[in-house]
């Protein structure tokens, strides 16, 4: 059973991200204090994922990399729980697995489960240590592993969008304050709160990028109202739960300028709102197309996952 947060170390990381209608591959090279360089990026528009993986392996020599991939939002669940009191660290995952039976709509015995503990701080002193439980059906994990094995691509990491977005948010941290980050894709909206490289909170917003771009003016305003309401509730919740971690700002991932979402949120939220340009923190000189906001919007998850840094 593959850990969703494997700590295996090998060569440099390349991420192969599989969507319904396309496959993307990305590799980011870190240069110490300089901006990380997006050293390679490619995408193939195809529903034949096996063929696309084989082409990427040949074109980018993926056998040289430690490769990762991401599950789609429908393939996993993320639950924020309190760690069981008095349970040894080595047994936490087993204890969490038992608790997840109340959250899953399939037998917990058929799930791959991993855990991610949040840092202990004063705000959690009066309750159990918060911990994220990530679960996915064994059959989805096994299918992904078989797909990569058939293409002879070494798969060592299976990741999720929340962690990829956390990686991107970390690049914009300038002090010890938290960053809220909001992005939209065909899977809906994703809101994360992170500080000092740690994910503290995440929320899914059931409004997709396609809904936003395809809506008429009246419907779009209603969607904006729903988004702002959900965001403000989440901002208030974060402030209550993590009162000792001040929030610096809300960063909005690229969306079409004509939507006017950034301006709307800036005028309706208590936190400062800024639009993101990944060119501020990543070097795109080897893949210049990614300087365009529209490209950053589409490649958001893959770039975030490629920024992953494992701890030895």
The residue assigned the tokens 């697995």 is: 97
Same domain, 179 and 114: no
Does the pLDDT value for residue 312 go beyond 60? no
Same domain, 215 and 264: yes
Domain boundary (138, 160, 186) is at 138
Residue 292 lies in a domain: no
Q: What confidence category does residue 31 fall into, taking pLDDT thresholds of 50, 70 and 90?
A: confident
Question: What pLDDT score does 155 carry?
Answer: 96
Into how many domains does the chain fold? 2
Range of the domain at 90: 74-138
Same domain, 112 and 196: no
Q: Which domain CATH number covers 123?
A: 3.30.420.380
CB 97 within 8 A of CB 113: yes
**Residue 162: is it exposed, middle or buried by C-beta count within 10 angstroms (0-12/13-18/19+)?**
buried
Q: What confidence category does residue 86 fall into, taking pLDDT thresholds of 50, 70 and 90?
A: confident
Question: What pLDDT score does 169 carry?
Answer: 98
Q: Which residues contact 95 (CB under 8 A, 6 or more apart)?
A: 84, 87
Q: What is the mean pLDDT of the chain?
A: 92
Residues 281-297 have pLDDT tens digits of 999 999 999 999 999 99
Domain boundary (138, 161, 192) is at 138
Does the pLDDT value for residue 164 go beyond 90? yes
Question: What pLDDT score does 87 carry?
Answer: 85
Q: CA 67, CA 5: separation in Å to the nearest integer?
A: 13
Which two three-digit tokens encode residue 310?
Answer: 């494992």
Residue 230 lies in a domain: yes
Does the pLDDT value for residue 310 go beyond 90? no
Residues 58-67 have pLDDT tens digits of 999 999 999 9
């Amino acid at each position: 059973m593959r850990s969703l947060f494997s700590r295996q170390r090998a060569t440099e990381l390349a991420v192969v991200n599989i969507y319904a209608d396309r496959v993307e591959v990305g590799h980011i090279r870190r240069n110490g204090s300089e901006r990380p360089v997006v050293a390679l990026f490619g995408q193939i528009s195809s529903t034949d994922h096996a063929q696309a993986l084989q082409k990427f392996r040949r074109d980018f020599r993926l056998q040289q990399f430690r490769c990762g991939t991401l599950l789609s939002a429908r393939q996993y669940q993320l639950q924020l729980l309190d760690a069981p009191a008095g349970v040894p660290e080595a047994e936490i995952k087993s204890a969490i697995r038992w608790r997840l039976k109340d959250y899953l709509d399939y037998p917990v015995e058929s799930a791959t489960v991993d855990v991610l503990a949040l840092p202990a701080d004063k705000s959690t002193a009066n309750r159990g240590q918060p911990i994220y439980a990530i679960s996915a059906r064994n059959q989805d994990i096994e299918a992904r592993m078989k797909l990569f094995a058939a293409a002879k691509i070494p798969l060592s990491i299976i990741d999720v969008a929340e962690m990829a977005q956390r990686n991107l948010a970390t690049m914009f941290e300038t002090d010890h304050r938290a960053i809220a980050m909001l992005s939209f894709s065909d899977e809906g909206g994703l809101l994360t709160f992170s500080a000092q490289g740690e994910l503290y909170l995440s929320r899914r917003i059931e409004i997709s990028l396609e809904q936003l771009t395809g809506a008429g003016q009246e419907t779009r305003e209603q969607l904006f109202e729903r988004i702002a309401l959900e965001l403000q509730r989440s901002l208030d919740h974060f402030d209550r739960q993590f009162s000792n971690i001040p929030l610096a700002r809300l960063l909005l991932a690229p969306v079409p300028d004509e939507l006017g979402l950034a301006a709307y949120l800036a005028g309706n939220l208590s936190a400062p709102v800024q639009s993101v340009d990944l060119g501020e923190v990543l070097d795109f000189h080897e893949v210049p197309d990614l300087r365009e906001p529209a490209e950053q919007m589409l490649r958001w998850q893959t770039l975030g996952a490629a920024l992953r840094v494992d701890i030895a």
